Amino acid sequence: MVTIGFPRMNEEAGERRDFLPDFVSEAGRLGKVLVEEGYGQGLGIPITEYVKAGAAVVPRAKIFSCDYVLVIRCPADKELKLMRPNSALISMIHRSTHPLRVKQLLSQKIRGISMDALVDDAGNRLVEALELTAWGGMDVACGELFNQETINALSRGKVKRPFKIVVLGTGRVGRHAVNAAVHSGNLERYAKMVKGHLPAIAVEALGRSLTCNKEYLKSIFKKTDMLVDATSRTDVHMPIIPNSLLKELPSWAVILDIAADAYDASATPPVVKAIEGIPTGNLDKYIFRKDDPAYSGIPKFVDTTNRRTVVSCYSWPGLQPSKCMKIYGVQLMPLMRALIEKHPYAPRESGDMYERSLFRASDEFFSRQNKLQQEAIV
């Protein structure tokens, strides 16, 4: 019988996204389930609930010796080293922004299945909480925008105008961000806005045909009260918005980082954020003022000269962990069945959509596609 391990995510105190007992119980039909000591603690779920669900409670190190390791956030490099060759990691690997992580998995012969790369035949993600992502980030950002100082600054003009929110990116995250922005990220706040107690909001969404037009961006940024990064980039080594453009934003403007790509100075070339010179937050800290110490942690080659209030978190759904994990559990179970009961690398010609999705999310397929792209460039 195969073993399925569930480690906790313990890099930040605010990270509480453990899978729920119902999901663990379902996973127990596929193999022997092991959960780390203290699993579910952040959600207020007693460990006894996981024992009732059929899980064995073991120390953290033993989790990484399982045949399958399932965790939302990818484990640290030192913990990946504890995994056995030919075991499988099912996690948000985010390969495009973590190339060295991919190299480590391949070198250790770990079968990586990236949750963020699990898509159907039309390219739609199968494991996602994009609506929670957009609404969670927008709620916090609008909370920063709708403060008395900002409202006063806006009303000092000769003509009172609505807040203007500019969303970069028109994919699924971008579309959710537009909807959240129209509703000020919070339905209670939106009700006050409709009644005239708060300024209205005007939203503009920009796709790639306009984000590359720096002169146009310069002209609209002068009246942009919130700039939102909801982009999905093919080139993570170049920013979309250079730091020099941020000086065009009003002093009170808020930058909402929904994409929350991380810097990686160790990659060649380095991985940078879509909006140059802003920090990346986490569930413990996601609001950054212009003088925040977090700026000192940004790689020195990145220009941070022009600063505004930044709202950023690597995982916005983590603000609603129970709701998030219920969604992920429903989405993941049919994929786990296909992965364990059939074959981790079913051929793309398989008649089962979940098997094809697993193949496309595998390191094998990712490496093959990268090689083809490099050959095409040469």
Q: Which residue has the higher pLDDT, 198 or 156?
A: 198
Surface-to-core class of residue 277, CB atoms within 10 Å of its CB (0-12 exposed, 13-18 middle, 19+ buried): buried
Report the predicted TM-score, pTM, of the whole model to 2 decimal places.
0.87
Give the pLDDT confidence score for residue 259 in this predicted structure.
94
Q: Give the mean model confidence (pLDDT) for residues 171-178.
A: 96
Q: Give the mean model confidence (pLDDT) for residues 189-197.
A: 91
Domain 130-318, CATH: 3.40.50
Asked whether residue 200 carries a pLDDT value surpassing 80, the answer given is yes
Q: Give the mean model confidence (pLDDT) for residues 156-174.
A: 84
pLDDT digits (tens, 9 = 90+) for 363-377: 777 777 666 555 444
pLDDT digits (tens, 9 = 90+) for 230-242: 998 888 999 999 9
pLDDT confidence bin for 26, thresholds 50/70/90? very high
Cα dist from 192 to 2, 185, 199, 201, 325, whole Å: 54, 12, 9, 12, 31
Q: Which helix (H) or strand (E) holds 149?
A: helix 148-155
pLDDT digits (tens, 9 = 90+) for 65-87: 999 999 999 998 899 999 999 99
Give the pLDDT confidence score for residue 312 in this predicted structure.
98
**Do the Cβ atoms of 254 and 201 come closer than 8 Å?**
no
**Do the Cβ atoms of 271 and 216 come closer than 8 Å?**
no
Give the pLDDT confidence score for residue 102 in this predicted structure.
85
Give the separation between CA 59 and CA 118, rounded to whole angstroms: 30
Domain 3-125+320-333, CATH: 3.40.50.720
Q: Of the ranges 146-155, 179-188, 271-280, 294-303, which one carries the lowest mean pLDDT score?
A: 146-155
Give the separation between CA 187 and CA 212, rounded to whole angstroms: 33
Strands 254-257, 88-92: parallel, antiparallel or unpaired by DSSP?
A: unpaired
* The pair of three-digit structure tokens given for residue 338, joined into one six-digit string: 């296909």
Give the separation between CA 50 and CA 24, rounded to whole angstroms: 7
Asked whether residue 326 carries a pLDDT value surpassing 90, the answer given is yes
Q: What are the residue boundaries of the structural domains of the chain, listed by start? A: 3-125+320-333, 130-318
Give the pLDDT confidence score for residue 378 in this predicted structure.
44
**Do the Cβ atoms of 67 and 31 come closer than 8 Å?**
yes
- Evaluate whether 3-125+320-333 and 130-318 have a shared fold: yes
Phi, psi of 340 (to 5 degrees): -90, -40
**Do the Cβ atoms of 29 and 1 come closer than 8 Å?**
no
